[in-house]
Structure formats: C-alpha cells, structure tokens
Amino acid sequence: MRHIQIYTYALLVTALLFGYSPARAQSTSVEMLYQNTQNLSREIAQLQTEAKALAGERQASLQLRITGRQLELLTAFDTLTDRIVAEENDGVELTELKAKLAPQLLALGPQIKTAINRRLVALDKLEETHEALSITWMASYLEHNTFIDHAYLTLTQHAKNLADLKLDNAESTAYLHRALQQRAEVLAGQIALTQKELEANLHSLTASPDDAGTQQKVKSLEDKQNINTESLKSTVALLQENGLESGRYKEILINSTGDITADILDVNLLKRLSQTWLKNITNYVLDNGAGLFFKLIVFLLILLLFHYLSRTVAKLLRKSLAKSTMPVSFLMETMVVNLCRRMIMLIGILLGLSQLGFSLAPILAGLGVAGFIVGFALQDTLGNFASGMMILIYRPYDVDDLIEAAGVQGRVQRMNLVSTTILTIDNQTLVIPNNKIWGDVIRNVTAQKHRRVDMVFGIGYSDNIEKAEKILKDILDAHPQVLSEPEHTVKLHTLNESSVDFIVRPWVETENYWDVYWDVTKSVKLRFDAEGISIPFPQRDVHIYQTEKTA
C-alpha cells in the first residue's frame, strides 16, 4: 500500500515538473479547451466515486489514476486561462465563459492547500514509520520535500491565473505568502540543526576515522542537508517572485553551501553579508586577539631564529668546503650553500605555521602533490636541472670564466640548476638553458693559467729574413708580460704569393692575452718601419690590350 502511494506521489511530482507550464494553443478554440476541462472534471468525479467502493491495492491503483487526471486538469486550466486572456486582449467577449469557469478555478486553491498540509503532516510523522536517516527515510524525505516545493509553485501559478481572469485571489495569495515565509523559516532552522549535527559527527570521525557507522551517518546528514538547501533555494525563488523578503534566507544559503550565484545575489545581500563578516571578524579579534598576537610574535621569532641559523650554517659550510681536499667549484659551493639555507628557512616557516595553528600534514601533502604536478608540467625544466647537475659535477667552467658555448662567447656571471647567465664581450647579459650548454661543445678560454698567443707577420721577398727574425725575437724578449717558460717561438712558416710569413707564438698569463697581442702587433709595425723592412700587401698587375678597328 505504501509503495503504491509513493508511486502516486512520484507521478504527481513528475507531472508537476514536466506538465505544469502555461501554453497558448492558438489553433484550439476557447470552447474546446473549456470542454476539455469539463470532461476531465467529470472523469475525476467518476473515478472518486468508484474509489470509495474499493479498498486495498485496487483503491490505491485507482487513486494513482485520479492523481494523474487532476494534474491533467491543472494543466488544462492553465492553458485555458492563458487563451482566455489572449482572446480578451484581442477584443473577444468571454464574460459568460469566465462565469462558468470561476467556481472550478476557485475550488483548486483549497485542494492544493490540502495536499500541502497532508505532506507537512507526513514529514512531521516520518520518524514514526521509518528509522531516522535510513535509506527509506531519506527517500520519503526527498519525495515529500520535492512534492511540497512543486505544490507551492503550482499554487503561485494558480494565484496568477486568478489574477489574470480578474477573480478573487486574495485568500490564495495570503495563504501562499504565509506558507512560504513559514517554510523558509522551518528550512533555515533545519539547515542550522543539521549542520550542528554534521559537525559533531565529523569531529567524532576525526577521532575514529574507521567507524563505518559514523561514516554512514555523515553521508546521510550531508544528503539531508543537500535536500534542505535545494528546497530553500526553491522557496527563496518563490519569495522573490511574490515580492517577499528573502535576503536573510539567501545569506543562510551562502553560509551553508559557500556558493555565491547570480540568481541569489543583490545589493542588500552584499551589504548584509559584509556586515555579518565584519562583525564575525571583530568578535574573533576581540575574543582571540591576545592569543593571536602572542602566536604572531612566536612566529616572527621562529623566522628570525632560523634566519640567523641559516646564515651561520652557510658560513660553516663555506669554510668546510674551502678546507676540503676534494676540489669543489665555486658554482657547486654556491648551490650547496644556498640549498642548505633554503631548506633551513623552509623548516622554520613550517614550524612557525604550526605555532599559528596550521596543520603541517595537509601542507606537506599539498607541497608533494604540487611538486609532482609542476614536475610533470615542466619536463624541459627537469632536463635543464639534470644538465645543471652534470655541469656542477664535471666542472667544465666556473664563475668568471670566459667560455664559448651554445654559439655565444662571454664570461660566466652566475649559474643555477636550470640556467647559466653569461655576460658577453660587448656587455650583453644572456641566460642560457643548461641543456643547451651541456649538449654542445664547451670551450673554456680562461680555464688554464697560461695561454699561447698565435700571430703571423709577413715580410717582402726582397727583405732580410735573419734581420726580421731577430727583430721579432727582440720584441718578444723585451715585452714584460711574455713568459720565458714555456719558451716563445719565432719561425719562418710560409712562402706566400706576395709575402714571406713568420709565425710568432709567445706564452702569456691568461689574463694578459689581449694586452700582449695588441702590444706585439704594434711593436712589429713600428720596428719594421724603422728598420726598413716592408710589410707586403697583395698586388695585382692589370694589362690593357688595344686592337685596331677595320673598316
């Protein structure tokens, strides 16, 4: 019997959801629509008479048909009302038809009110027939609330139909306003009570996370809260449609769900929310200000302590690396020291946050998840990281070294595990990814203490070779920055087309390379000019032949 009633209610809700919408059937006459309502009314009366003579399942089945016919009648009345209003706007006189229709329309309001009151009583007695928060209880709770929400929607449409036909809708409207305000208050109270019960069970679940009974109760309370909030949303929409105050209920919806949507947001609500939040913040500061201030002081002291601790550890680490027998590049030293400092500061920040009341477990879990996501998204960066590690391990260059790598030449300014910053000869700063450097030839110009300067000087074929060779050696011997060891080289190297070329290769300190190169080049030019030795340049003879023209 109860299952049949549930099916009956389900059909009613479905019909209200999908069938109750005004439609204007312009191709159908008003008389035909009116006859349709009369036929449905007679069918309903006949079915009700038959139902009185039945009992049990047969009576419940017939009641199901009656409910369906009643919903068809409601839809037919809505269609007829819209058509009558349209015809009257076009100048058609329908006073007689409206007089016939008025008693039937006025009788619909009490029927809807009766249906609503029955459902409200059923909600109050729900725990007498079902175990609280059980599956059957939750199904009935949802079904009753859905029926009531749509019944109020139906009553709202009914009051509008009466107004459209200029019939007395004062009683239906007054009842509707009272009922909507009362329902909004009841739902607001239920949401508050359910929220408190839910918080208590969540607290218990924190102490006993494996308690299956508490887990199921939390799930049921969350479902119940969702049903209440959806019903309150529907009620708030009807309050707005009927011009009633709904601001406080919108605030409850936002506080309970956390959702701020366009359909419930307005200026007054924003003002009320701002005042509420400001009041809550003020009360919290007044109640917890002293403790919060003390925690903030402890947090700052922890950060200051770990800042000095990180600096001390960095100094000790630098001294240890400087005294270490294992050769460590400046880049490696800088990376290790900075990494240790940052790790110490991270520990200090986490400890400080724990003193402020933050739980470290979610923070650490969030850092782990964030690290995984960032690592997956930045795969190229991980390649740079690996290349940076290889550079630090094998040390092909260090800070202040002049290198050629990735197609550029410049002095290394700094390096991290992702990129290397190079200052070019013409003072441009270039940031090069480490994988581009490690994947190419690296030429370290300043890695060695000594460098050889390779120069070539040419003399004419008519000049004295021994004299030129002696002059070149004298210039190198006289230059203070040319090293005696390794010994410099001056040799006749090539007999070119227009010159006899000497190679001149002095050894110098690496930092003196260009000074020696420029000084020696200048000195050779001056000495050759003074000693009468020519420095030939390519020459070309051009012969012009003239031919006589014949007549």
**522 falls in which pLDDT band (50, 70, 90)?**
very high
Buried b (16+ CB within 10 A) or exposed e, 231-241: bbbbbbbbbbe
Enumerate the CATH 3.30.70.100 domain ranges in the chain, comma separated: 450-531
Cα distance from N-terminal residue to C-terminal residue, the chain: 136
CA distance 122 to 129: 10
**102 falls in which pLDDT band (50, 70, 90)?**
confident
**% of the chain surpassing 90 pLDDT:** 16
Average pLDDT for 260-276: 53
Per-residue DSSP letter, 482: B
Q: What is the pLDDT of residue 454?
A: 95
Q: What is the pLDDT of residue 286?
A: 64
Enumerate the CATH 2.30.30.60 domain ranges in the chain, comma separated: 380-444
Q: Report, at the CATH architecture level, how domain 450-531 is classified.
A: 2-Layer Sandwich (3.30)
Q: What is the pLDDT of residue 550?
A: 57
Element (H, E) at 472: helix 465-478
How far is Cα of residue 367 from the mean position of the Cα atoms in its chain? 15
Over 80: is that where the pLDDT of 528 sits? yes
More confident residue, 363 or 460: 460
**521 falls in which pLDDT band (50, 70, 90)?**
very high
**pTM, full prediction:** 0.44
Average pLDDT for 31-53: 83
Mean pLDDT for the chain overall: 78
Over 90: is that where the pLDDT of 551 sits? no
Q: What is the pLDDT of residue 256?
A: 67
Q: What is the pLDDT of residue 467?
A: 94
Across 28-42, 156-170, 216-230, 534-548, the highest mean pLDDT is recorded for 216-230
Q: Report, at the CATH architecture level, how domain 380-444 is classified.
A: Roll (2.30)
Q: What is the pLDDT of residue 6?
A: 43
Least confident of 63-77, 264-278, 487-501: 264-278
Over 80: is that where the pLDDT of 371 sits? no
Over 90: is that where the pLDDT of 533 sits? yes
Q: What is the pLDDT of residue 68?
A: 65
More confident residue, 270 or 454: 454
**173 falls in which pLDDT band (50, 70, 90)?**
confident
**% of the chain surpassing 70 pLDDT:** 78
More confident residue, 364 or 437: 437
CA distance 440 to 451: 23
Q: What is the pLDDT of residue 8?
A: 44
CA distance 521 to 516: 8
Average pLDDT for 479-490: 93
Element (H, E) at 402: strand 402-405
More confident residue, 2 or 314: 314
Over 70: is that where the pLDDT of 274 sits? no
**Can you read off the two tokens belonging to residue 342?**
């940052």
CA distance 205 to 210: 8
CB 492 within 8 A of CB 469: yes
